[in-house]
Structure 1
Amino acid sequence: MAHKQHPLGSGFTPASTADEVLAGIDMSGKNIVVTGGHAGLGLEITRALSKAGASVTVAARNPDRAAAAVRGIDRVSVGQLDLLDPNSINAFVAQWLDSGRPLNVLINNAGVAASARVVRDARGYEAQFATNHLGHFQLTLGLHPALSQAERARVVNVTSGAQRFARIRWDDPHFTTDYDPDVAYAQSKLANVLFAIELDRRWSPEGIRAYAAHPGVIVGTALNSSGGQEQLRAMGLIDESGQAIINPYTGRKTPQQGAATIVFAASNDQLADIGGVYLKDSDISPLVAEELPMTNDPGVDIPAEAAPHSIDPQSARRLWELSDKLLAEPLRSSSTQR
């Protein structure tokens, strides 16, 4: 798989915006689902794809809130989806399949960030892994018929540079011991990449290609503000007065810049015959050294490129098999354990 991790020379830069990436691309007639497509990065993805002509379905846990957020954007509808609730996922899938519509692009964007104390779903699974990976895994497999129905469909998993700092905890992915919220988040983002690698291997013969796309650190979004201003200042994301520090060349981006890599994965013809790759800065990421220190020092720029373990095909197959097994487990309760 590593041989595919070479930049294309796409012509875009870290500062490119979603509108710039979509310039001249007609998405008319394309059906797109964006999970969490009503807030932060997701809202910008929805707006840009609608502007290019696509019909976008925003999948959201709170449909009323989502509908208010996307009001006025053309060709956008809202469906209820709670990625921590397997029944909710099944209901969304059934509704889509019953409509008979092909699905041209699925953007698995929604996610939760690190929580100081462990949160578990109805199966007892750690919530970041369950939401960011397993929920999207179940959703994607359920929508497989609609993706197959479309010609040259794409699945885009929104990941993070945090994927570099994790390994899958094969014997304890749900942190029954030694819970660390940052490690749990990084594991879920690594899972997003490995899922794209294996999905592309399995489904590319049907014309379905998959990508893991790193948008950068989106300064000011709720997901990245959860640690409070002190943590954001330590990471070099805000200055002493609390103002956002935007520098796309060090990975600190606006939502418009962050959405660029996502819509590049969803639309660009340069990827027509390539899948199973990790993207950043609206191009295929290069492959860099395996080990890097993890630091929040704002004076140190940590590369967010692909690492060998993040695109390892054997790990990707193993994660798919583990995910299948985990989804087969019965629910322990009817609600999330908080």
Structure 2
Amino acid sequence: MTSTAQQPLNSGFGAASTAEEVIKGIDLTGKVAIVTGGYSGIGLETARVLHGAGAHIVVPARDVERARTALAVLPGTEVEHMDLLDPASIDAFAEKFLASGRPLHLLVNNAGIMATPLARDARGYEAQFAANHLGHFQLTTKLWPALVAAQGARVVVLSSRGIRFAGIDFDDVQFEHRKYEPFLAYGQSKTANALFAVEVDRRGQAQGIRAFAVHPGLIVDTGLVKHIDPAALQAAGALDSEGKPIRDPERQLKTVQQGAATSVWCATNPQLDGLGGVYCENVDISPLVAPENEAAWAGGDTTPGVLSRAVDPEAAARLWEVSEQLVTA
């Protein structure tokens, strides 16, 4: 991928478009989709809309009973145990899916955690990087044969405008030597998500696998913001004085239905045929933020865009190598 791929398509959709609107007219009968975190928030809406278009949905879940309850409204949906912080459970989930012999047409790496206090998995890896990136890296690479078998698969990786907070510190990914800051770690993990889509696409393109990174918007009525002080969300203009969500899609303040729209578009829309390795938002490919505007954008400018460091092919290739070492250590 080169940075020139980061050019909006003028898709005809926009910040206020919903997942239902972007999938209109698309038939997914016979397609298999795995949606991580597909039992709450925008993950559930993504699963619901893909299911409504005919796809068979598989949801790996840390809390299987909760997932089964939430997904009871989607007949035929499979729920299997998997914890993104538990490598053995990721292997077990992937191996069971591969043993079924099915192709995997759509993989939506949606699950994630945000701005959590410092925590580490059993390997000592920082939890946000481990859950948001490494767990999905392991899952995607294990499921690679099923993606190839689809003969035209798409991988959607949920990133975030949180890329503004940090790039990848390859010298201290796990915060072993620097002070831990929740949003710094979140930003690193979200930049990793964006870079992962770049390298999945580069490696998979010849085998029919295309990948896209997505910024869904800020949806404050999901569990993702539970570690953030409501006062901070009010100060950011995301909550009103009564603590209720403010909806303003042009400022990225979206409903769950709007938040799932770009994921669904990237997973299914023929406008993206032949494309990949790009970062998307507001149901379109994001423009690159010009170098002279990066400081303002990182400081809170809500103009659509992606920082060059989050789609840098060299950083993406390096992150893949580092990730391989970490998951096989």
Partner letter of residue 185 of structure 2? A
Please give the alpha-carbon distance, in whole angstroms, between the structure 1 residues aligned to 2:303 and 2:88. 38
Is the Cα–Cα contact under 8 Å of residues 67 and 79 in structure 2 kept in the other structure?
A: yes
Measured after TM superposition, the shift of residue 115 of structure 1 is: 1.7
Measured after TM superposition, the shift of residue 304 of structure 1 is: 4.9
Q: In structure 2, do the counterparts of structure 1 residues 301 and 307 end up closer, same or farther at CA, with 3 Å as the change threshold?
A: closer
Measured after TM superposition, the shift of residue 226 of structure 1 is: 2.4
Please give the alpha-carbon distance, in whole angstroms, between the structure 2 residues aligned to 1:263 and 1:71. 21
Please give the alpha-carbon distance, in whole angstroms, between the structure 2 residues aligned to 1:133 and 1:253. 24
Measured after TM superposition, the shift of residue 75 of structure 1 is: 3.3
Please give the alpha-carbon distance, in whole angstroms, between the structure 2 residues aligned to 1:76 and 1:282. 26
- With structure 1 as the length reference, what TM-score do the two structures score? 0.94
Partner letter of residue 85 of structure 1? D
Residue correspondence of structure 1 range 1-80 to structure 2 within 5 A: 1-80=2-81
Q: Name the counterpart of 1:336.
A: none
For residues 133-188 of structure 1, the C-alpha deviation after alignment (integer angstroms, 9 at most, x for no partner) is 00000000000000000021010000101113311010110111311110000000
Partner letter of residue 188 of structure 1? S
Between 1:125-134 and 1:307-316, the stretch displaced more is 307-316
For residues 61-116 of structure 1, the C-alpha deviation after alignment (integer angstroms, 9 at most, x for no partner) is 01111000111213311111101011000000110001011000100000011123
Residue correspondence of structure 1 range 121-136 to structure 2 within 5 A: 121-136=121-136
Please give the alpha-carbon distance, in whole angstroms, between the structure 2 residues aligned to 1:165 and 1:229. 19
Instruction: Report how many residues are paired.
Output: 324
Q: Name the counterpart of 2:166.
A: 166
Is the Cα–Cα contact under 8 Å of residues 59 and 80 in structure 1 kept in the other structure?
A: yes
Q: In structure 2, do the counterparts of structure 1 residues 304 and 165 end up closer, same or farther at CA, with 3 Å as the change threshold?
A: farther
Partner letter of residue 138 of structure 1? Q
Which of 270, 287, 292 matches 2:295?
292
Please give the alpha-carbon distance, in whole angstroms, between the structure 2 residues aligned to 1:164 and 1:268. 27
Please give the alpha-carbon distance, in whole angstroms, between the structure 1 residues aligned to 2:93 and 2:200. 21
SS of match in other structure, 1:252 = coil
Please give the alpha-carbon distance, in whole angstroms, between the structure 2 residues aligned to 1:41 and 1:72. 16
Q: Name the counterpart of 1:255.
A: 256
Partner letter of residue 99 of structure 1? S
- After TM superposition, which residue ranges in structure 1, 4 or more long, deviate above 6 angstroms? none
Q: Name the counterpart of 2:276.
A: 275
Please give the alpha-carbon distance, in whole angstroms, between the structure 2 residues aligned to 1:305 and 1:58. 30
Please give the alpha-carbon distance, in whole angstroms, between the structure 2 residues aligned to 1:33 and 1:115. 26
SS of match in other structure, 1:137 = helix
Please give the alpha-carbon distance, in whole angstroms, between the structure 2 residues aligned to 1:243 and 1:249. 18
Is the Cα–Cα contact under 8 Å of residues 193 and 212 in structure 1 kept in the other structure?
A: yes
Q: Name the counterpart of 1:97.
A: 98
Q: Name the counterpart of 2:320.
A: 320
Q: Name the counterpart of 2:111.
A: 110
Residue correspondence of structure 1 range 143-162 to structure 2 within 5 A: 143-162=143-162
Residue correspondence of structure 1 range 145-224 to structure 2 within 5 A: 145-176=145-176, 177-224=178-225
Please give the alpha-carbon distance, in whole angstroms, between the structure 2 residues aligned to 1:174 and 1:145. 30
For residues 267-290 of structure 1, the C-alpha deviation after alignment (integer angstroms, 9 at most, x for no partner) is 000111000000001110111134
Is the Cα–Cα contact under 8 Å of residues 50 and 75 in structure 1 kept in the other structure?
A: no
Q: In structure 2, do the counterparts of structure 1 residues 190 and 304 end up closer, same or farther at CA, with 3 Å as the change threshold?
A: farther
Please give the alpha-carbon distance, in whole angstroms, between the structure 1 residues aligned to 2:68 and 2:120. 28
Measured after TM superposition, the shift of residue 328 of structure 1 is: 1.6
SS of match in other structure, 1:324 = helix
SS of match in other structure, 2:34 = strand
Please give the alpha-carbon distance, in whole angstroms, between the structure 1 residues aligned to 2:183 and 2:229. 14
Q: In structure 2, do the counterparts of structure 1 residues 232 and 225 end up closer, same or farther at CA, with 3 Å as the change threshold?
A: farther
Segments of 5+ residues of structure 2 without an aligned counterpart are none
For residues 11-36 of structure 1, the C-alpha deviation after alignment (integer angstroms, 9 at most, x for no partner) is 00100000000001011111000001
Is the Cα–Cα contact under 8 Å of residues 15 and 257 in structure 1 kept in the other structure?
A: yes
Please give the alpha-carbon distance, in whole angstroms, between the structure 1 residues aligned to 2:303 and 2:125. 30
Partner letter of residue 112 of structure 1? I
SS of match in other structure, 1:78 = strand
For residues 219-272 of structure 1, the C-alpha deviation after alignment (integer angstroms, 9 at most, x for no partner) is 211102421321211111110011110000110000100100000000000111
- With structure 2 as the length reference, what TM-score do the two structures score? 0.96
For residues 278-318 of structure 1, the C-alpha deviation after alignment (integer angstroms, 9 at most, x for no partner) is 000111011113422555xxxx6433511111111100000
Partner letter of residue 310 of structure 1? A
SS of match in other structure, 2:104 = coil
Q: Name the counterpart of 1:332.
A: none
RMSD (Å) for aligned C-alpha atoms: 1.1
Partner letter of residue 88 of structure 2? N
Please give the alpha-carbon distance, in whole angstroms, between the structure 1 residues aligned to 2:87 and 2:269. 32
Is the Cα–Cα contact under 8 Å of residues 213 and 280 in structure 1 kept in the other structure?
A: yes
SS of match in other structure, 2:295 = coil
